[in-house]
Amino acid sequence: MEFIFDVIFDLIFDSSKNSKVPKPIRYFFIFLVILIIVGIIGMIVLFGIDTLNDSLVGGILVLLIAIILVIVTIVGFRNAYLSKKKI
């Protein structure tokens, strides 16, 4: 199951950067990538908030991981979509 999701996500991500795909379809794929990533980060944040009730240190660590994941995602998105690399 994980392999299937990995293949689908990679196809969507690669085709969203391909200039041969029409712009409306690329924008839809970018929206799907953002939606998937925001959903995963949101679930981690909810898990961290829920863990705060049981263990303060564990909840803070999970929320710290979520913050690091947000930073890495923003940097990766900027590198993938907003930078114009000249070859």
87 has a pLDDT exceeding 60: no
User: Residue 18: which region, alpha, beta or left (left: phi > 0; alpha: psi -120 to 50)?
Assistant: beta
- Mean pLDDT over all residues of the chain? 86
C-beta atoms surrounding 13 within 10 Å:
15
Structure tokens at 77: 């998105």
Rounded to 10°, the helix 2-17/23-54 angle is 130
Mean pLDDT value of segment 19-46: 88
Structure tokens at 53: 């009730």
Q: Taking the complete model, does pTM exceed 0.85, yes or no?
A: no
66 has a pLDDT exceeding 90: yes
